[in-house]
Amino acid sequence: MKRILTVLVLLLLLAAGGVALVLPGMQKRLLQPPETWPGDAYVLFGVEKGASGGSVARDLESKGLIRSARAFRALLRRREWQTALKPGLYKLEAGSSAEDIARQIVDHETFRIKVTIPEGLTVAQTGQRIEKAGKVDGKQWLPTAAEIKAAATPALVKRVTGLDLPTPTVEGYLFPATYWFEADATAADVVSRLLSEFSDRFAGRYTDEIGRNGRSLHEIVTLASIVEREAAVDPERPLVAQVFLNRLAIGMKLESCATVQYALPEHKERLLYADLAIKSPYNTYMHKGLPPGPICSPGMASLMAALRPQATDALYFVSKGDGTHTFSRSFGEHQNAIDTIRGR
C-alpha cells in the first residue's frame, strides 16, 4: 500500500509540473534531443508574437522537435524564461536539445536570409531577386516581387528618407548591396531597408555636396542610373557622366541606348533602328535632356561619378567590346573610332 501511495504522489507531482524537482534523471532525459529528427539537417520553426511558453512547448512537441512539452515548460520556469521567448523564425539544427532550442529563442537567434542586389537592377528585377532568395525549402518566406512593387511607393520613400520624389515610382532608390533579412520581414520592411541604405550611404552622407552640385538629387540619381547601364568599368564612369553632361550643356540629345532599353516592354540583346523610334519620355534619341527619372538603381561608383564627373570635352563614346570605350570630341572622330573597332 505504501508503495502504491508513493507512485500516486509521484504521478501527481508530474502532473503538476514537478518533473525537475522530483525526477531530475527523467527531466534530463526528456530535455535531450529527440531520437528522430523531423528534417534532414534543420527545421524552420516560427514563434508567433504574443505566444506563451506553453503554446511554444506544445508546438515544438507536436512537430517532433522536443521530447516533452511539460519538461520544456519546467525548463522555462527554472531559467525564468517564461516571458523571454521572442517571436520570429528560427532555424533549429538536428541534434539540438530542448535547452539549445529555448536559448536560441530567448536570445532571438533568428533565421535570416541573405539577398545580394547587384547594381543596375530595376524595381521589378530587384523584387524578383528578393522573391527568389526568399524561397527556402519550398516555402516563400520573403515577400514576392509583386508585394515589393506594391510597397515601393514615393510615400514610403518620404516616410523613410524624407525625400519627395517627382516621379510616381521609386526607380533608382533601392540601393544595391548585400542584405540579411528576417524571414518574416514584410514588403515594407524590405523596401525600407533598401531605401535607408540609399539615404545612409549617399543622399544623407553627401547632402552638402549634392546641394552645391547645381542639379537636384533626382537628376544626379537619374544620370547615375544611365552611367550604370552604359559603363562597365569603374574608372570610366566619371568620364561617361561628363560626356552626358557635356551633351546636356549644349542642348544635344543624350542618345543613350540604355534609356531606350528601359522604355521597351522587354529587354533586347541588340537594339534595332525601329526601337530607337519608340514613343516614350525615356527615349533619349527622341527627347532632349534627362529622362523623367532613373532607369535602374545605380551603385556607389556610378552615383559618385554623377556627383563628381571627370573633366573631358568628349561628346561621344563607343564600346571596344572589352568593357572599355573610346571617347571622341567630334562626330568625325567618333565615326573613325567605330571604323577602327570594327576593323574597317
Q: pLDDT (tens digit, 9 = 90+) per residue, 226-280? A: 999 999 999 999 999 999 999 999 999 999 999 999 999 888 888 888 889 999 9
Asked if 254 and 284 count as a contact pair (C-beta separation under 8 A), the reply is: yes
Least confident of 45-49, 90-94, 114-118, 310-314: 45-49
Strand partners, 147: none
Look at residue 236 and tell me if it is in a domain.
yes
180 and 231 fall within a common domain: no
Over residues 30-76, the pLDDT tens digits come to 999 998 888 778 888 988 888 999 999 999 999 999 999 999 999 99
Mean pLDDT of the chain: 90
State whether 124 and 182 are in the same domain.
yes
Whether the predicted pLDDT of 25 surpasses 80: no
pLDDT value at residue 307: 98
Question: Alpha carbon 32 to chain centroid distance?
Answer: 38
The reported pLDDT for the residue numbered 186 is 93
Query: What per-residue confidence (pLDDT) applies to 11?
Result: 52
Query: Which is higher by pLDDT, 272 or 192?
Result: 192
| Residue 339 is assigned to a structural domain of this protein | no
Mean pLDDT for 305-330 is 94
Percent of the chain exceeding pLDDT 70 equals: 92
Length of the chain: 344
Let me know if residue 298 belongs to a domain: yes
Query: Given this model, what pLDDT does residue 20 score?
Result: 43
The pLDDT of residue 23 is: 52
One-letter amino acid of 276: L
d(CA 296, CA 119): 8
Instruction: Specify burial of residue 8 (Cβ count, 10 A radius: 0-12, 13-18, 19+).
Output: exposed
What does the pLDDT read at residue 19? Answer: 42
Flag the least confident range among 17-21, 42-46, 89-93, 138-142: 17-21
CA dist., res. 163 & res. 203, Å (int): 9
Contact 71, 98 (CB under 8 A): yes
- Domain span at residue 189 reads 112-203
Do both 224 and 308 map to the same domain?
yes
Domain termination residue (choose one: 106, 124, 155): 106
If one compares 7 and 267, the residue with the highest pLDDT of the two is 267
Q: Is the pLDDT assigned to residue 289 strictly greater than 50?
A: yes
Same domain assignment for residues 101 and 123? no
d(CA 98, CA 85): 13
Enter the pTM of the model. 0.82
Confidence of residue 21 (pLDDT cuts 50, 70, 90): very low
pLDDT at 179 over 50: yes
Chain mean position to CA 295: 18
- 262 located within any domain: yes
Closest CA to 120 of 224, 226, 219, 228: 228
Q: How many domains does the chain have?
A: 3
What is the secondary structure of 276-331 as a DSSP string? GG---TT-TTTS-S--SS-SS---HHHHHHHHSPPP----EEEE-SSS-EEEESSH
Q: Residue 114 forms beta bridges with which residues?
A: 180
Q: What are phi and psi of 131, to 5 degrees?
A: -60, -45
Last residue of one domain, picked from the residues 172, 203, 234:
203
Residue 321 lies in a domain: no
Q: What is the pLDDT of residue 6?
A: 52
Does residue 88 share a domain with residue 168? no
| DSSP of 266-280 | S--SS--GGGGG---
Strands (E), the chain: 42-47, 88-93, 112-116, 135-136, 139-140, 178-182, 316-319, 325-328
Percentage of the chain exceeding pLDDT 90: 72
Same domain assignment for residues 101 and 60: yes
Residues 259 and 284 in one domain: yes
What pLDDT, on the 0 to 100 scale, is given for residue 10? Answer: 53
**Running DSSP on this structure, what letter comes out for residue 203?**
I
pLDDT at 173 over 80: yes
User: For residues 102 and 256, what is the distance between their CA atoms, to the nearest angstrom?
Assistant: 57
Residue 136 falls inside a structural domain: yes
- Indicate if 226 and 307 belong to the same structural domain: yes
Q: Is the pLDDT confidence value at 18 over 50? A: no
Residue 318 belongs to some domain of the structure: no
CATH classification at residue 86 = 3.30.1490.480
CB 253 within 8 A of CB 288: yes
Asked if the structure places residue 185 within a domain, the reply is yes
**Residue 334 CB partners (closer than 8 Å, separation 6+):** 315, 316, 318, 328
Are residues 260 and 174 both part of a single domain? no
Pairing mode of beta strands 135-136, 42-47: unpaired
Mean pLDDT (whole number) for 327-343: 90
Same domain membership, residue 141 and residue 95: no
Are both 131 and 172 inside the same structural domain? yes
What is the structure's pLDDT at 24?
63
Whether residues 222 and 290 share a domain: the answer is: yes
Last residue in a domain, options 178, 203, 228:
203
